[in-house]
Structure 1
Amino acid sequence: MSDGAAILAQDLAALAFCWRLERRDGVALGLTSHDRDLTVAGFPYRAAPGLVPSAIARGIGLEADAMDLQGALSSDAIREEDLRAGRWDGAALWLHLTEWTDPGALWLELMRGELGAVEQQGEKFAVELRGPHAALQAPVAPETSPGCRARLGDRACRVDLVRHRRLVVVAAMEEDRAVIGGGGLVAGAYAFGALRWLEGANCGLTQSVIANDADGATLSDLPAFPVAPGTRALLTEGCDRLIATCRDRFSNAANFRGEPYLPGSDLLTRYPGAR
């Protein structure tokens, strides 16, 4: 019998949950349901006894795994302003069970997956964990569409984004418009693109760009935190997913993932002589 199995077979065991979270910006955090900090394989897990998971079901089926996670916002590790800003959305999470008297001797993985959108409920937060099987809910084959189904720069598109990114300095914020110091932007080139903050209170957060002119970019929403003049950001061009844009701006029509010339349902309404 393995050490883990022997521990679980005991009449009395001191068990604790351990969560490891890795945000998309690279920040890693460990939390435990025990009332004291634990260290497993050199990685610290901070005490967060108010953090509890819902019931967890494991099986061999192909149904999607899910789990609700609830806890208090009192921990300094998970700040309320970071939750509101979306820094924890999409973070990777591993949930293990261990015995706090000998951390790591029992290290049973209960679940792994990705955090959904984090919701605030008064002074607490709640989040759903999507397991690996959630990917099975995606369509087996893509549906036809006149627009491109790829994202600019991904493996299907293959456009090298290095040539379509620009390091900028935000001189000021005019509501949802970021004024770019020095200007020089190509009007419309950054619509449907993104602005990633490289410093300041918003560092690591990415916002969508809905329009731009030579001197600034209009964001889809206001930054989560105030922006100091002179803050640096990375501005990435966007694509409207049209074949003309793919061909003329990016010279990438060979990788266009759409069917722009496929007849639509309006073909059924045509008749001889109709224009």
Structure 2
Amino acid sequence: MRAFFNRELESAATFWRVFRRDGVALGFSSHDRDLAFAGLRHRTAPGMVPAAIRMTSDLSEDSASVEGTLSHDSISSDDLAAGLFDNAAIEIGIVDWETLEHHSLYSGVIGRVEDNQRSFSADLLSAKHVLEQDLVPRTSPTCRAVFCGLGCGLSSHRFTQRVELNEVDFDFNQVRFSTITSASYVDGQLRFLSGPQTGLVFGILSANGDWLTLDRPLHDGLIAGTAAELTEGCDHTLGTCSSRFDNAVNFRGEPFLPGNDLLARYGQ
């Protein structure tokens, strides 16, 4: 393997690759011309550089961040706002722009992205961030299980259907599907199967007639006829679990457990 920075003058540049969840792969380099290696063309983007990379040999989280200008056609503020880069896999490394020998320094996923219209910054999360998740369940009045997930016991196929988009309202961030009972999908999920936001999962905040309000911005390239997959929602209360889904036996919550304010609470 090539040893970098072992001499006074180096022909080295930074490269980074972004693998979006919709299958799009993008490559960039800090060099002043495009570099093609490892099956991907890395376009010149000298304004976008790794700001800091920290790697450890223990189980603590490795961290990195990337800052840059939104000057490249491959990354736009609309795409960032639409969530096309959310949880995208990323790889950062160094490449010899003469011999194209390269070495990866960091790999992870894109976390929080901040955009102020002139520049953007992104926090990167390594695989170690999974180790920091708290796996000990906490008591709660609502169900902690993911609807149709582990612990719920219901089948997602029973509450999921494939539909086609009828209309989009970009002003109110709403979509309309005329063949559904909209109220059943509040707190549910929408996943587009084609179009500019393929594979992204949207949360459904509310329903108004045939219209569904989503929790993230819609891409302006979205058109009627786009295939989508709708999954019904659950408000995770015991009443809904029992009356609507007849699934109280799998309820993962403690709705009748006294809270911390028991002694200070007024009598009923």
Same fold, TM-score > 0.5, yes or no: yes
How many residue pairs match? The answer is 266
* 8 Å contact from structure 1 (residues 186, 213) kept in 2: no
Q: Deviations over 1:214-263 (max 9, x none)?
A: 63433346634265343332211111112333344445445433223433
| 1:25 Cα deviation from its structure 2 partner | 2.1
**SS of corresponding position for 1:88:** coil
Tell me, in whole angstroms, the C-alpha distance in 2 between the residues paired with 1:188 and 1:266.
34
Asked if 1:234 corresponds to 2:229, the answer is: yes
Instruction: Report the secondary structure of 1:189's partner residue.
Output: helix
- Structure 1 residues 186, 48: CA separation in 2 closer, same or farther (over 3 Å shift)? same
**Alpha-carbon distance in structure 1 between the residues aligned to 2:222 and 2:53:** 42
Q: What corresponds to 1:36 in structure 2?
A: 33
Q: Is residue 152–residue 159 contact of structure 1 (8 Å, CA) maintained in 2?
A: yes
Match of 1:123 in 2: 118
Q: CA deviation at 1:143?
A: 1.8
Q: How far is the alpha carbon of 1:80 from its aligned partner?
A: 2.8
CA distance, structure 2, for counterparts of residue 269 and residue 261 of structure 1: 17
Select which of 131, 146, 151 maps to 2:141: 146
Equivalent-residue separation in structure 2 for 1:193 and 1:161 (angstroms): 11
Aligned ranges for residues 43-58 of structure 1 at < 5 Å? 43-58=40-55
Q: Which residue of 1 aligns with 2:220?
A: 225
Q: Which amino acid aligns with 1:164?
A: F
> 2: CA distance between counterparts of 1:21 and 1:234?
26
In the alignment, structure 2 segments of 5+ residues that lack a partner are none
The corresponding residue for 1:73 is: 70
Measured in 2, the distance between the counterparts of 1:164 and 1:92 equals: 30
Q: Match for residue 19 of structure 1? A: 16
Alpha-carbon distance, 1:87 to partner: 1.1
Contact 1:212 1:218 survives alignment (8 Å):
yes
Aligned to 2:165, what secondary structure does the other structure show?
strand
* C-alpha distance 55-209 of structure 1, shift in aligned 2 (>3 A): closer
In the TM superposition, structure 1's runs of 4+ consecutive aligned residues that sit over 6 Å from their partners are none
Q: State how far apart, in whole Å, the 2-side matches of 1:79 and 1:221 are.
A: 16
CA distances 1:7-49 after superposition (whole Å, capped 9, x unpaired): 5434433222221211222222222222233333323322222
Partner of 1:195: 190
- Relative to the length of structure 1, the TM-score reads 0.81
Calculate percent identity across the aligned residue pairs.
Answer: 38
Gaps in structure 1 of 5+ consecutive residues: none
CA shift digits 1:121-175 (9 cap, x unpaired)? 3422211112233334433523211212222233443533222112222322454
User: Are 1:99 and 2:113 counterparts?
Assistant: no
Letter in 2 for 1:154: G
| Most deviating of 259-268 and 212-221 | 212-221
CA contact (8 A) 2:139 2:253 kept: yes
Aligned counterparts of 2:259 and 2:265: Cα–Cα separation in 1:
11
**C-alpha contact (below 8 Å) 1:172/1:227 kept by paired residues:** no
Contact 2:113 2:120 in 1 (8 A): yes
Q: Could you tell me which residue of structure 2 aligns to residue 64 of structure 1?
A: 61
Cα separation, 1, equivalents of 2:37 and 2:145: 41
- Paired residue type of 1:4: R
* 1:257 to 1:37, Cα distance in 2 relative to 1, 3 A: farther
Aligned position for 1:179 = 176
Partner secondary structure for residue 184 of structure 2: coil
Is 1:83 aligned with 2:70?
no
